[in-house]
Every structure is written in C-alpha cells, then in structure tokens.
A and B are shown apart, each in its own frame.
Chain A
Amino acid sequence: MIYRETGQFKTSYAADQQIFPIRQDRIGIAILLAFAFVVVPLTAGNYWFNAILIPFLIFSLAALGLNILTGYAGQLSLGSAAFMAVGAYAAYNFQVRIEGMPVLLSFILAGLTAAGVGILFGLPSLRIKGFYLAVATLAAQFFIVWCLTKFPYLSNYSASGVISVPNVEILGYTFDTPQSRYLLVLSIVSLMALLAKNMVRSSTGRAWMAVRDMDVAAEVIGIRLMRTKLLAFAISSFYCGVAGALYAFCYLGSVEPDGFSLDLSFKILFMIIVGGVGSILGSFLGAAFILLVPIFLDIVLPWLSELLHLPVDSATVSHMQLMVFGELIMFFLIVEPHGLARLWQIGKEKLRLWPFPH
C-alpha cells in the first residue's frame, strides 16, 4: 500500500530517465545515505568499522568493477584480484616515489595504471569468449602476482614484497581513525557507484550490454566490438584498481602480493554471482552476503550450540560455518539464479500490488 507508483505521472522524458523513477525509492536511498554518512559514524564502534563496514565497501567497489566487465559487457574474468594488486602497488609507488603526491590523485593514477594493465590483458577477449577468456584472464592473475614478488623495485625493496602504506592525508587532515577512514571510503565508493550507474544507463552501457547479448547484431548496428570490450576492461580494472588502493590504504595498512591471490578473485566473482550479474545494487548485496554471512555464522553457531546443549568445539564450528555458507550460496542460486538483486526487484514488484494479488 505504501510502496506504489500510482499517481506519479511522468510528464517529461527527463523525469522518466531518472535513476530512481519512483518517489519511494528516492526517499529510501536518501534515508540510506543519510544513515550511512551521519548515523553510522556517530554510533558504530571500531570493530564495525574495521572488520565489517570498510571491507564491505571496498569489496563492493571491486565487485562493481567486475560487474561492469562480466555483468554488463559479458566478458568473464578471473583477474580482478590481480587488478586490485596493481592498484594497491601503483598507489603505493606513486606515494613513495613522488614527493608531495596528493593521496586522492595517487588513487586515481593507481586506477589508471590498473586500467592500462586491464586493457593489455583484455586483448585476448577480441578473439576468445566465455570460459576460454576466463582462462586467459587467469594469466593476468598469476603473472601480476609473480611480477610483484619478482621485482623488488615494485615494493620499494621491502622484504618479500610486503608494502606498508602511510596514513592517508588529505589537505592536512590525517585519516587515522577508523571512523574517518570509513567516511573516506564511503564517499569514494558512493561517488564511483553513481558514475557507474550513469555509464550503464547511457549509450556506453547499452553498447556493453549489446555486445554481451548478441555481438553480431551489435556489430551490424555499428558498435565497434574492440573498442567496446577494451573500454569495459579499462573501466572495470580502474574500479578494481581503486578498490585495491583503498584495500591497502584504508583497510589493511600493509599488503603483500600473495594477499591478492586467485582465492580473492573467486571471492569477487562469487559476490557478483550471488548478488546479481549485471546490477549495480547486486554488487553491494553480493559483497554484503559473502562478507557478512561468515561473520554472522561465527556468532550464531556457537550461540546455537549452547542453546541446544550440544557440546561443539571450535574446529567443528568453523567446519559448520563453511558448510552452511556453501549451502546458502547453493540455495540462493537455485531459488534465484539472477541473484539477490533480482529477489529484491521481485519483492518490490510484489509490494507494489500488495495487498491485492493482481
């Protein structure tokens, strides 16, 4: 009854092309943003910032990057963690080697470096598709991690390639509290999500989806496949690169090449599969699911075992956690192969009609 668009007439195409055409959605997102920017920093504790919110936002950004490439442009990639590594190490190098480099600029340059590397490893996509392309992007995954370990220059000659980044400082303000880092990450992620949304709803995004859905028809319309695919690789890698820089600068503080392993790439891929392939919202939902459910199970399982008076040791709990997590992923994929974003959409459609069945 509350969520419906009755009476909200669009009298111009501009009004019809808003990101959130329904008023309730606009109010909802405004409340969510206000909550995230004002209420959360005032109330949440350090554990929330460090262990949950900051990684959630950073992985959302990485998932968003992969979603642009895989979900919108249809190019399967297993190299997202490697592009994050490029971002992290590039940002570090720009910071260390150039005196007085503004940190935000080094993030952008890190993104651009990742974009360049992304284009390079995107070249095989011009000839191969699908699973074969995924295997080709594996080359990026292994090669980049190998490179970062092999060439000490890239990690400023630190032992075993570990880099420790300085505190983020913008215009004299040091982001040394979890709270301030959270706000910095939140601002960057919100802004980049908005930019991504704008791209996918304009002809750039339509060209990506056209290539994804039917590349021959796209070509006949006059879309240049090479340019479109490489642009998707570049922008996707840019997003992953910035996520990697944030991962190093605002989350971990020190990273090593092996931290950006194939496992991490798979994790990001699972995020978009569970969250929703080809959906901006899905990137966030997927990141939340993959990151939060294990933490949630960590808390709930011991509590549950106590409640049921079943003596369970901690090893069993961690096994249980993996099992339940795996089953939840399968459950969601069977119930809704298009991910959580589609579930959300279906829920909204139902809500529009409620309480009437039709």
Chain B
Amino acid sequence: MARKIGEVILDLRHISLSFGGVKALTDISFDVREHEIRAIIGPNGAGKSSMLNVINGVYRPQQGEIIFQGEHRKDMDTHAAAAAGIARTFQNIALFKGMTVLDNLMTGRNLKMRCNFLQHALWWGPAQREELEHRRKVEEIIDFLEIEHIRKTPVGRLPYGLQKRVELGRALAAEPKMLLLDEPMAGMNVEEKQDMCRFILDVNDQFGTTIVLIEHDMGVVMDISDRVVVLDYGRKIADGTPDEVKNDPEVIAAYLGTQH
C-alpha cells in the first residue's frame, strides 16, 4: 500500500510563545502535509512539547498564525482543535486512571456523541443505541491495538507500556485527521518500541492519519518519519528529510556541542 502524501494540512507561521520573560518559542514556521509522519526533535527544553500545545490549543501563542485545513487562526482553542480532528497523547501518560480501558476509549469519542444527560438517565432508547454504535467503533480500535484482554481493566493497574498503548487508543477513538504524539516511546524497551512503531505506521497507513511526533530515539525518528523539524532553545534550526537533517552542521552542534 503506497501512502500518498498530500497537500499542506497544517501550516504554522511565525509562532512565538513566551511565559512572562521566558521565551519558549521564537518565530517558528513549518508545515505538515496530509498523511505524512512529521517528527519534531531537539534537545531537552527546546520547546517541542510547547509546540504541540500550541497546535492543539493548550497554549496560546502571542504571535503567529495557525492554518489548519485552510482555516486561518491566530491561536487554537482545545475544543476547536478536537472538533477539527486533532487528537493527541501526552509525554507523561494522561489517562483517566479510575476508568477501564473501554471507558477511556469511549471517552475519546465523547465529541461524537449527541445524546444529552436526560437521554442518558433514561438509557433505553437513543442513548443505548448511540452507546452500542460507538462501542462497535471502539472495539475495532481495541482489536487494532491488540488490547482485547484488558478492555475491562482499570488503566491504573496496567503496566507502563500498555498504558501508552491505551492512550494511543483513546486518541484514535476520536478518528482524528491529525494525531500529535508526545514521546510515544519514552521509557519503553526495544520490543515495546517495535510494537509502538508498528502501530504508528499502521495508523498512518490504514487510516491515513497525519502524524506529528516528538521522539528522542533518533533511530526511530530517522526510520519512520518523512520529514523532521529540529528545534533548539525555542528556535527552528533545521527542517527537511531525515537525511538532510542528520548531516546538518547546526543539528550536530546542538546535539553534540561545538568545538570552541
């Protein structure tokens, strides 16, 4: 199955974000094309997570413009981002600990559910029909991620690797156009990383989801991403294919230091 990388779906122009006097991002511009896997890399504190937070509206940049699917915005808000089809996972797992895997995934579809609380209270009728319809979708994702055996387990009891997978599932449950993954492989062993890579590639391939990925494992980044943007101290220092980025002197300097 050949993936076809399409037009630009997300275009970030001159984004600057600061917290008081601390400049987190300075004049960053890059774009993401439809169906591609776009990696954001950089040393710790480079502003990678802030960048994701700007894309889905957790942070509001002071300057710049965000164009998602042709719609120009000064900044995003979380609800608008979710409604437009942007889903994400977090660096430190942000699952709903007290709920089961199934409920976590069902919550991911919250925006697609139309019934109100009165219909829910009465249950029989529209609420149940809606619930079953969404359950079917969620079960497809459970199958896809191979987590059938834990669907009724509270996520707080699951090991770390599985929690990461469930979090990916919760994001996928929303059937997003664009998926933001913040270090999906942090803290995993080699087998778990392989599994996660496989899932990311499959999501990209089968669902055609555009993926923006932050990752520290350079092997993984160079292997699976189509294009890479490199940040350092809140500035963009390189942008291009993995090969171009790998040999960029500024990138090497940022990672390895320079000789003075």
Tell me the chain B residues, 72-99 only, with Cβ under 8 Å from chain A: 78-79, 81-83, 87-88, 90, 94-99
Q: Which of A13, A196, A203, A224 has the most CB of B within 10 A?
A: A203
- Provide the residues of chain A in CB contact with B117, threshold 8 Å: 199, 204, 231, 235
> With contacts A210-B107, A214-B94 known, is A220 near B122, CB below 8 A?
no
A201 to B107, CA, bound (A): 11
Decide if A198 is an interface residue (CB 8 Å cutoff).
yes
Q: Flag if A210 contacts B106 (CB, 8 Å).
A: no
A146 vs chain B, min Cβ distance (A): 32
Contact with A along B126-146 (1 / 0, CB 8 A): 011001100110010000000
Pick from B83, B116, B131: contact of A17, CB below 8 A.
Answer: B131
Decide if A209 is an interface residue (CB 8 Å cutoff).
yes
Decide if A34 is an interface residue (CB 8 Å cutoff).
no
Tell me the chain A residues, 279-303 only, with Cβ under 8 Å from chain B: none
- Provide the residues of chain A in CB contact with B87, threshold 8 Å: 220-221
> With contacts A17-B135, A213-B98 known, is A221 near B127, CB below 8 A?
no
Tell me the chain A residues, 315-330 only, with Cβ under 8 Å from chain B: none
A177 vs chain B, min Cβ distance (A): 31
Tell me the chain B residues, 41-57 only, with Cβ under 8 Å from chain A: 56
B251 vs chain A, min Cβ distance (A): 30
Decide if A11 is an interface residue (CB 8 Å cutoff).
no
Tell me the chain A residues, 196-220 only, with Cβ under 8 Å from chain B: 196, 198-199, 201-207, 209-210, 212-214, 216-220
Decide if A278 is an interface residue (CB 8 Å cutoff).
yes
- Provide the residues of chain B in CB contact with A222, threshold 8 Å: 78-79, 82-83, 110-111, 174
Q: Which of A14, A206, A213, A221 has the most CB of B within 10 A?
A: A221
B5 vs chain A, min Cβ distance (A): 26
- Provide the residues of chain B in CB contact with A210, threshold 8 Å: 96, 99, 107, 110
Decide if B252 is an interface residue (CB 8 Å cutoff).
no
Decide if B115 is an interface residue (CB 8 Å cutoff).
yes
B58 vs chain A, min Cβ distance (A): 7
A216 to B123, CA, bound (A): 28
Q: Flag if A214 contacts B110 (CB, 8 Å).
A: no
Q: Flag if A278 contacts B120 (CB, 8 Å).
A: no
Q: Flag if B107 contacts A207 (CB, 8 Å).
A: yes
Pick from A205, A209, A213, A221: contact of B174, CB below 8 A.
Answer: A221
Q: Flag if A224 contacts B113 (CB, 8 Å).
A: no
- Provide the residues of chain B in CB contact with A223, threshold 8 Å: 107, 110-111
- Provide the residues of chain A in CB contact with B123, threshold 8 Å: 198, 201-202
Decide if B121 is an interface residue (CB 8 Å cutoff).
yes
Q: Flag if B120 contacts A198 (CB, 8 Å).
A: yes
Decide if B232 is an interface residue (CB 8 Å cutoff).
no
A235 to B87, CA, bound (A): 30
- Provide the residues of chain A in CB contact with B95, threshold 8 Å: 213-214, 217
Q: Flag if B110 contacts A221 (CB, 8 Å).
A: yes
A11 to B111, CA, bound (A): 28
Decide if B108 is an interface residue (CB 8 Å cutoff).
yes
Closest to B174 in A: A221
> With contacts A13-B132, A198-B121, A220-B58 known, is A212 near B98, CB below 8 A?
yes
- Provide the residues of chain B in CB contact with A196, threshold 8 Å: 121
Decide if A195 is an interface residue (CB 8 Å cutoff).
yes
Pick from B56, B97, B139: contact of A214, CB below 8 A.
Answer: B97
Closest to B119 in A: A202
A138 to B220, CA, bound (A): 53
A31 to B191, CA, bound (A): 51
> With contacts A216-B94, A222-B110 known, is A199 near B78, CB below 8 A?
no
Pick from B81, B88, B99, B135: contact of A13, CB below 8 A.
Answer: B135
Tell me the chain A residues, 139-197 only, with Cβ under 8 Å from chain B: 195-196
Closest to B77 in A: A219
A195 to B108, CA, bound (A): 23
Q: Flag if A214 contacts B96 (CB, 8 Å).
A: yes
- Provide the residues of chain B in CB contact with A214, threshold 8 Å: 94-97
A278 to B103, CA, bound (A): 15
- Provide the residues of chain A in CB contact with B116, threshold 8 Å: 204
- Provide the residues of chain A in CB contact with B170, threshold 8 Å: 221
- Provide the residues of chain A in CB contact with B120, threshold 8 Å: 198-199, 202-205
A113 to B106, CA, bound (A): 33
Q: Flag if A17 contacts B132 (CB, 8 Å).
A: yes
- Residue pairs across A and B with Cβ atoms less than 8 A apart, 21 shown, are A13-B139, A196-B121, A199-B121, A202-B123, A203-B115, A206-B110, A207-B107, A209-B99, A212-B98, A213-B98, A214-B94, A214-B96, A216-B90, A219-B79, A220-B82, A221-B87, A221-B110, A221-B111, A222-B110, A223-B107, A235-B117
Q: Measuring CB to CB, which residues of chain B are less than 8 angstroms from any residue of chain A? A: 56, 58, 78-79, 81-83, 87-88, 90, 94-99, 103, 106-111, 113, 115-117, 120-123, 127-128, 131-132, 135-136, 139, 170, 174
Q: Measuring CB to CB, which residues of chain A are less than 8 angstroms from any residue of chain B? A: 13-14, 17, 195-196, 198-199, 201-207, 209-210, 212-214, 216-224, 231, 235, 278
14 more CB-based (< 8 A) A-B contacts, given A198-B123, A203-B109: A17-B131, A195-B122, A198-B120, A198-B122, A201-B123, A203-B113, A206-B99, A206-B106, A209-B98, A214-B96, A220-B78, A221-B108, A222-B79, A235-B117
